[in-house]
Amino acid sequence: MEGKAYTPDEVAQLFQISKHTVYELIKRGELQAFKVGNKMRIEHTEIERYKENTKAPTKRIQSEQPDLYTSFPIRLSGSHDFLVEHFVKQTSKDLHLQIQPTYIGSLEGLMMLYRGQSDIAAMHLLDPASQEYNLPFIHQLFVYESILVQRFVSREQGFIVAKGNPKGISTFKDLARKDVQFVNRQKGAGTRFLFDSMLSTHGINPAEINGYLNEEWNHLSTASYISRGMADVAFGIQSAASHLGLDFIPIAKEQFDLVFRFTDENKKNLNELIHYLQSDSFKNSLTDLDGYDISELGKVIYTTAKMEETF
């Protein structure tokens, strides 16, 4: 059972949902899948991981903190990351707060926050003009809203290649070689922003790259192309390479931040999460930190919120 892979139809039957919903979960990066030819498959371990992450938290006894937790789940949208998954799971365990994640990419996640469709955005968007992460986009969108931006982690981005790097890939120019097959991230992903910016800097036409139009929706499914021999190189985070036993060539260090938008309904719970991210308890829960720098974890880097709304 452990090594079994399911079709979207079989997953739909297991969860008693439509096949269309399964494909939407895959597209948003909430359920990780891989392709065999043109067919989509989902591993048994991934189904178990998804079930565990979406479990409703155990209800807190009301007499302990009668008004601390509302019945409203916190909605998180944006970029997928293994430590964000950990954050979602730990807040359920330690704070008994339910976070509903939608892994849809940095840009779309930020737009969902702007439209009031989420409470937290997870993002790592490089502004090509200023070479600054996240804040240029936030300044443009959030003029009147009450928000707070908190540093989550810094991450290593680079080339993910097979063990031993058999194609000898080391530079962006290698991506344009005829014998190299690439797999890309979707438009709107922070990784795609960074990759396209670097292609422009190196004067490389995307049309020269075999597989540039082949898009995946999260780091693990992208890296799985390399582990399965379906591509030679991807651009992604070191932790995805480590998860699958692949080699990694570091290229850039990026800033990954969480953006909180306060409302009357969510501000109490958001404050709880902000303090939790600054706690030794959460920092000590983090393991498997290949490619991550957590030295600034919890640092508030920007806010328009009034002090009484946050702290």
Enter the pTM of the model: 0.80
CATH of the domain at 214: 3.40.190.10
DSSP 95-141: T---EEEEE--HHHHHHHHHTTS-SEEEE--EETTTTEESHHHHHHH
Q: Is residue 263 part of a domain?
A: no
Half-sphere exposure of 82 (CA within 13 A, CB side): 20
**Domain boundary, last residue among 33, 54, 75:** 54
The count of other CB atoms within 10 Å of the CB of residue 24 is 13
Average pLDDT, the chain: 89
Domain total of the chain: 2
Last residue of a domain, one of 10, 31, 54: 54
Residue 44 falls inside a structural domain: yes
Per-residue pLDDT tens for 46-87? 888 877 766 654 444 343 444 444 457 899 999 999 999 999
CATH at 18: 1.10.10
| Average pLDDT estimate for 33-51 | 79
Q: Is residue 69 part of a domain?
A: no
Residue 17 is assigned to a structural domain of this protein: yes
Residue range(s) defining the domain that contains residue 15: 1-54
For residue 46, being part of any structural domain is answered with yes
Q: Which helix (H) or strand (E) holds 239?
A: helix 238-243
What's the rounded Cα separation, in Å, for the pair 86 and 149?
19
Instruction: State the Cα–Cα distance between residues 101 and 87, nearest whole angstrom.
Output: 11
Final residue of a structural domain among 200, 222, 253: 253
Task: Answer yes or no: is 108 within a domain.
Answer: no
The answer for residues whose C-beta is within 8 angstroms of residue 188's C-beta and 6 or more apart is 104, 105, 106, 107, 108
In this prediction, residue 309 carries a pLDDT of 58
- Output the pLDDT for position 307: 54
* Cβ atoms 147, 260 nearer than 8 A: yes
Residue 290, domain member (yes or no):
no
Residue 45 maps to a domain: yes
More confident residue, 173 or 16: 173
Contact 112, 119 (CB under 8 A): no
pLDDT digit string (tens) for 159-186? 999 999 999 999 999 999 999 999 999 9
The residue that leads in pLDDT, 44 or 63, is 44
pLDDT at 66: 41
